[in-house]
Structure 1
């Protein structure tokens, strides 16, 4: 019994030491996430996407962005709607993403999910004041990158998406222009 008590006490002490060793991460993460604090709110506008020959597909876009876990995580949900041939409004794009800063790697993490079940672990960089870029590799096809420019004074969000088969030559396939409404 004495041995069991000693073992449990040691495990409890080690657990506490492990938690204390991780304690400094929160302030660093919060500080790094301040660069996207202006994203929080509701953004609405229009976008288009072209995934092959023909006319670009236009949609109305509604982005809802929330700060979670005391500012250490950003939750981004985007819904694009368009009118089909029957005149009905349908969802043509629905994505959810989680943005955070990983202190161990010294990098932002951007995980996105689509309504069809696909997901992506993307890279994310701050490229300037209110300028951001994120993207990912598409196995055996190329690379995709998105560039975001925000004008906080005018409350405008512009985002373009580009594709490259070789990582050098980029073609625009997506654009979204939003205005902050909340």
Structure 2
């Protein structure tokens, strides 16, 4: 009888534990659903101005894929422009991983550039289909990007700003994309 009671108790504890794990996973998936409209292929133009002169324009191809059953988004962006000889060159190539961290209860946005730099950025929803993400540049200032998605028009507009003091912001980047897939 004692062994039967132990088996029943063990089965009950297992059922509770696995039920909580499934509930937790569903909760994390719910947290990621706010980014569902990101998924797909986006194409358009970007513009970046780093100092005096004309902004540098590029054709942008952005791909966002859901991974691990929607628990993670993989974001890859490639910007191409023409050099002086009218040859198309890659001027920007980034890869980022977006997820929800249940331990800190925060979204994580880890980005990587083709030149070896990487950033642990913060990201937050700021409204329906609007987001902001950014990071600190040690000893220089702060960078933030604001994203506005229109799921009906299938557009993605993003603006990048820089601040040395965290109060006065200067626009240096803009991107307008249309969803193609």
TM-score of the superposed pair, with normalisation by structure 2: 0.88
Whole-Å separation in 2 of the counterparts to 1:94 and 1:177: 17
Q: 1:25 Cα deviation (Å)?
A: 3.3
Whole-Å separation in 1 of the counterparts to 2:39 and 2:133: 18
Aligned to 1:83: 82
Equivalent residue runs for 1:66-105 within 5 Å: 66-105=65-104
Whole-Å separation in 1 of the counterparts to 2:142 and 2:80: 26
Superimposed CA distance per residue, residues 9-51 of structure 1 (whole angstroms, 9 cap, x where no aligned partner): xxxxxxx8xx857554321111011011111110000000011
Whole-Å separation in 1 of the counterparts to 2:78 and 2:153: 22
Q: How many residues align?
A: 166
Q: 1:174 Cα deviation (Å)?
A: 0.1
Aligned to 2:39: 40
Deviates more, 1:19-28 or 1:62-71: 19-28
Aligned to 1:121: 120
Whole-Å separation in 1 of the counterparts to 2:176 and 2:121: 22
TM-score of the superposed pair, with normalisation by structure 1: 0.88
Superimposed CA distance per residue, residues 76-125 of structure 1 (whole angstroms, 9 cap, x where no aligned partner): 00000001111110000000000001111111000000000000000000
Q: 1:153 Cα deviation (Å)?
A: 0.4
Q: Secondary structure at the match of 1:93?
A: strand
Aligned to 1:3: none
Aligned alpha-carbon RMSD (Å): 1.5
Q: Unpaired segments of 5 or more residues in structure 2?
A: 1-13
Aligned to 1:179: 178
Question: Is the 1:46–1:177 contact (alpha carbons within 8 Å) kept by the matching residues of 2?
Answer: yes
Q: Unpaired segments of 5 or more residues in structure 1?
A: 1-15
